[in-house]
Amino acid sequence: MIETPLKSVSPVWVSLFAAAALACFALPGYAAGLTATADIKGCTDANISGNATLTEETTDEGIKEVIIQLSVEGLSDGKHAVHIHESAACEPCSAAQGHHDPGPFGVTRPDSAGNTAPASDINHPYHMGDLINIEVKNGRGSMKHTSNRVTLSAGRLSLFDADGSSFIIHTNEDTYCDQESDLEKGCAGGPRDACGVIKLN
């Protein structure tokens, strides 16, 4: 039996292979972080259900971003406003309170306008918890949105402050309240159809 001698691998090739492997793991420039979930349930309609996942990532520049993926079924067809609200409570859905908006100048209730008295909060849609609409077709809808307005980790923008946070899905779409001054009633989506407490994994 003739033995074939093994050829040695050049250290240069080893270094190049290691560098390529590290580059693959580094793409696309985000560091994996914390995750959270929420079970979505109807406020008054038991046929409404869904779920949400949140994943925090950190860019190369150190900016924390949260990828939000939400799916729901049982809502009426059309667009529905989705926001992160300032309390981890859904029973009743009003217990979730206003939009998540930490900070000394946060005013969390864009839906406080009455039939004759407009809301004085003109911060919407710039609350930290303001998201895009979800569109429902044939009773099912899904959305994916990336926000750098909130974090899952500790800090001033964290969803896990003293009283936590919840998702609220509204009956109507969010028109983003594009007024110069006072907000009109219902421009942020009106009544609440569904709620889900956000829980850190």
Do residues 66 and 147 touch, judged by C-beta distance below 8 A? yes
What is the model's pLDDT at position 183? 67
In CATH, the number for domain 30-200 is 2.60.40.200
Q: What is the DSSP letter of 110?
A: T
* Torsions phi, psi for 99 (to 5 deg): -70, 140
pLDDT tens track for 34-72: 999 999 999 999 999 999 999 999 999 999 999 999 999
**Six token digits for residue 59:** 């860019």
The structural domains of the chain, with segments of one domain joined by +, span 30-200
Beta strands, E only, 43-180 = 49-59, 64-73, 78-80, 82-85, 134-137, 140-147, 166-170
Name the DSSP letter for residue 119.
B
Q: What is the pLDDT of residues 70-106, one digit of tens each?
A: 999 999 999 999 999 999 999 999 999 988 888 665 5
Q: Six-digit token pair at 181?
A: 């001054």
pLDDT digits 0-9 by tens, 96-147: 998 888 866 555 555 555 555 555 556 778 788 999 999 999 999 999 999 9
Supply the pTM of this predicted model: 0.78
Which strand (E) or helix (H) includes residue 190? none
C-alpha dist (Å) from residue 65 to 9, 27, 145: 42, 16, 10
